[in-house]
Amino acid sequence: MKLSFRWYGKDDPVRIDYIKQIPNMHSIVTAIYDTPVGEVWSQESIDSLKDEVERAGLKFEVIESVPVHEDIKLGLPSRQTYIDNYKENIRRLSKAGVKVICYNFMPVFDWTRTQLDKVLEDGSTALVYYKDQLTKMDPLKGELSLPGWDSSYTKDELSEIFEKYKSVDEEKLWSNLEYFLKEIIPVAEECDVKMAIHPDDPPYPIFGLPRIITTEANLDRFLKLVDSPYNGLTFCTGSLGSAHFNNIVNMVDKYSALGRIHFMHIRNVKLLDDGSFEESAHYSPCGSLDIVEIVKVLHKNKFTGYIRPDHGRMIWGETGRPGYGLYDRALGAMYITGIWETLDKTSN
């Protein structure tokens, strides 16, 4: 496996040279953040970012994310322009040596939490999703600014997008996703770039918007839309694992054996009785997911893709981007590396 770490560029409070100091760290996971969604990334920006990563002694091989424009998800006539731009981004990133592109197909909102700074029993703070808090939220009032919420929309623009989604149910979203994949996967194959869709987080509809990358059956359906090794998964244990109906160990075993996991996000969550969840430390006893068993099936299946420790708590007084502090994710990286090393030394 190749250990990686998410970094948000020059504006990230976490210094890239500190990331390099984490033992076994292989690559940086990053993106171009100053180009509007749907536009072509300049080769100059891509190459400059690559140079910065490589000067730190790390690899520039995974992009997270190249966002999918809302018109593609909605299936509007304008989608072809944005799809053509997406193809060009694949070509340009391939030219810079990128091997995997992570993206998602979640309508309007990316990963969504209801609170940024829940104080846990140990005094750390974590991202949480409480259903009772969600019922009191109305995204159309324009009052929210949480991770996963696209604050680039004005109140009126968001209302307009919600209106357009009234005609898009799950089947229509599936159809729009299939159209997108049939357009981009041939380009990914030509460029030797593996596309890795991120599951919906949480893996069920919110605010009446459809979500489809949610369950084992839906992942099976997704992979069959374009049955190519270049059409694969970013398997996020915390996203799919935030619902009781997903058996994460079995799913990781299945899809890694098939060679369709190109990128692993490993984190833990503590599931609550009402379907809510809290993000926790990576250490297995802290949450509801068995990280040791997850890593064991990856190792058994000789996984050679990229793994990154996903969201961490804020610990030891660290401040900055919630979920993306250095300290707890570094602990997660070493926990994962320790499990892997032990498996290397004890496996026949």
Residues known to be catalytic:
198, 236, 265, 310-311, 324
Task: Classify strands 100-104 and 115-119 as parallel, antiparallel or unpaired.
Answer: unpaired
Asked if residues 101 and 198 have their Cβ atoms less than 8 Å apart, the reply is no
Task: Determine which helix (DSSP H) or strand (DSSP E) holds 268, and give its type and residue range.
Answer: strand 268-271
> Positive or negative, the Cα torsion across 184, 186, 191, 192?
positive
- DSSP string over 31-44: ---SS-TTSPPPHH
C-alpha dihedral over 251, 93, 228, 112, to 10 degrees?
A: 30
Alpha-carbon distance of 30 to 88, in angstroms, equals: 18
Q: Give the dihedral of Cα atoms 199, 203, 204, 208; nearest 10 deg.
A: -50
CA atoms of 235 and 249, how far apart (whole Å): 11
Task: Note whether 238 and 112 are within 8 A (CB).
Answer: no
* Helix pair 79-95, 43-55: axis angle to 10 deg: 40
DSSP 305: S
Q: Rounded to whole angstroms, how far apart are CA atoms 128 and 145?
A: 14
Q: Which residues are 4's β-sheet partners?
A: 27
196 contacts 234 by C-beta, under 8 angstroms = yes
- Would you call 309 helix, strand, or coil by DSSP? strand
Q: How far does Cα 113 stand from its chain's mean position?
A: 14
Q: What is the dihedral of CA 224, 89, 322, 268, to 10 degrees?
A: 30
Euclidean distance between CA atoms 92 and 193, whole angstroms: 11
Residues counted in the chain:
348
